[in-house]
Amino acid sequence: MPFRSLNFLAVAASAVLALALTPLVRALARRYGMVAKPKTDRWHKKPTAMLGGVSIWLAVVLSYLVFIRPATTQDWGHFPGSFLDVVMGASSFLFLVGLADDFLHTKPYQKLIGQVMGSAFIIYYGLALPWTNYSALNVALTIFWLIGITNAINLLDNMDGLASGIAIIASGFLALSFLATGQLTEALMLATFAGALLGFLVYNSSPASIFMGDCGSMFIGFFLASSALVNV
């Protein structure tokens, strides 16, 4: 996909959408009692709204569907980034798994089942770590990779701006990696993802007025982990 100034509307749109949607989500979370109370494993001192992942997910998905996918179809006559559809679909499934946990407080093994299901979807469509000559071992390593990164981001969502800040850095380096290999559509997608995170970070930086919740951390972690597989 040749880069044009119009393509960068996706990055700007995702940032603006996150900036606009996060206060709305924050207000709704406070109204319906979806707040994180101060605990020893968190570093905030007053009840803080949850569900910030809703605004991140909406910003990323809407920007992808409105700007990136139509632009690549127009340039090539078909969509060359089918793997991005897979990544977006599986990551959105993990968003729903996390959202269910935010509302219903599901058990850890139930979340793990959802993560395995999302990983199986990624592997079924051909994304896997090619680190060994044994396909079964590669599948096992890929599942470990996807679940490990997803839960690592989930565990980082306990300090103001930590998870979102690290995810911005990771997505930036992934975008540069895609640029280096000529995968321009994928690079734009990661830049768009980073734009949404930057918009959210405005409200998540210290003192945070909203946290992303499991719906955000699981979406972000799984999106980063599965996007990296497109470049291996």
pLDDT tens, 115-159?
999 999 999 999 999 999 999 999 999 999 999 999 999 998 878
Indicate the number of domains in the chain.
1
What integer pLDDT is reported at residue 4 of this predicted model? 59
What integer pLDDT is reported at residue 77 of this predicted model? 42
Backbone angles phi, psi at 35, to 5 degrees: -130, 150
Q: Answer with the residue of higher pLDDT: 47 or 155.
A: 155
What integer pLDDT is reported at residue 80 of this predicted model? 44
Q: State which residues form the domain around 45.
A: 5-229
What integer pLDDT is reported at residue 71 of this predicted model? 64
pLDDT at 78 over 80: no
Contacts for 77 with CB less than 8 Å, ≥ 6 apart: none
DSSP 108-155: HHHHHHHHHHHHHHHHHTT-----SS-HHHHHHHHHHHHHHHHHHHHH
What integer pLDDT is reported at residue 39 of this predicted model? 66
Which of helix, strand or coil describes residue 210? strand
CB-side exposure of 209: number of CA atoms within 13 Å?
11
pLDDT at 1 over 60: no
Do 10 and 64 meet the contact criterion of CB atoms below 8 Å apart?
A: yes
Tell me the pLDDT tens digit for each residue of 204-216.
998 889 999 999 9
CB-side exposure of 168: number of CA atoms within 13 Å?
18
What integer pLDDT is reported at residue 82 of this predicted model? 78
Residues of the chain with pLDDT > 90, as a percent, come to 74
pLDDT at 163 over 50: yes
Do 95 and 57 meet the contact criterion of CB atoms below 8 Å apart?
A: yes
Residues paired with residue 195 on neighbouring β-strands, in sequence order: none
